[in-house]
């Protein structure tokens, strides 16, 4: 599982960082830490368009998206 933290970054950077992680680790699951809803929606859409299963967990200080192949 690859972990990336895009908290504090504004759109479209969370999508860009997540895509980079996907491109560099095409066979790995990815966990993404985010801190605002629009980024959660956008990263979810990126992941779904690339065939990942997305599991969302709301945490104390934001959100974690688990992107599973």
Partner 1 sequence: MRDLPQQSDPNLIAGAEGYEDAGVYKLSNDIALVQTLDFFTPIVDDAYTFGKIAVTNALSDVYAMGGRPLTAMNIVCFPATKMDLSILNRVLAGGLDKLQEAEVTLVGGHSVEDPELKYGLSVTGLIHPDKVVFNRGCVPGDRLILTKPLGTGIISTAIKAGMAGEKAIARAVYSMTALNKKAAELMLEVGVHACTDVTGFGLLGHACEMIEGTEAAIIIDSSAVPYIPEAREMADMGLVPGGTTRNRCFREVMVDMEPGLHIFVSDILFDPQTSGGLLISLPAEKAGELLDRLHQEGIVDAAIIGRVEAGPAGRIRVH
Count of chain residues binding partner 1 (CB under 8 A): 16
How many other β-carbons are positioned within 10 Å of the β-carbon of residue 40? 20
Q: Kindly name the residue from 2, 11, 15, 54 that is annotated as catalytic.
A: 11
The token duo for 27 is 């066979």
Residues of this chain, 14-43, that bind partner 1 according to CB under 8 A: 15-16, 19, 37-38, 41-43
45 binds partner 1 (CB under 8 A): yes
Q: Using the rule CB under 8 A, which residue among 30, 34, 46, 67 binds partner 1?
A: 46
Active site residue 11: yes
Spatial distance between the Cα atoms of 61 and 28, rounded to a whole number of angstroms: 25
**How do strand 30-34 and strand 62-68 relate by DSSP bridges?**
antiparallel
């Amino acid at each position: 599982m690859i972990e990336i933290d895009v908290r504090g970054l504004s759109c479209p950077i969370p999508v860009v960082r997540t895509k980079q992680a996907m491109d560099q680790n095409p066979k790995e699951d990815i966990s993404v830490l985010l801190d605002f809803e629009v980024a959660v929606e956008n990263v979810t859409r990126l992941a779904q368009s690339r065939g990942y299963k997305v599991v969302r967990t709301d945490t104390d200080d934001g959100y974690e998206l688990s992107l599973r192949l």
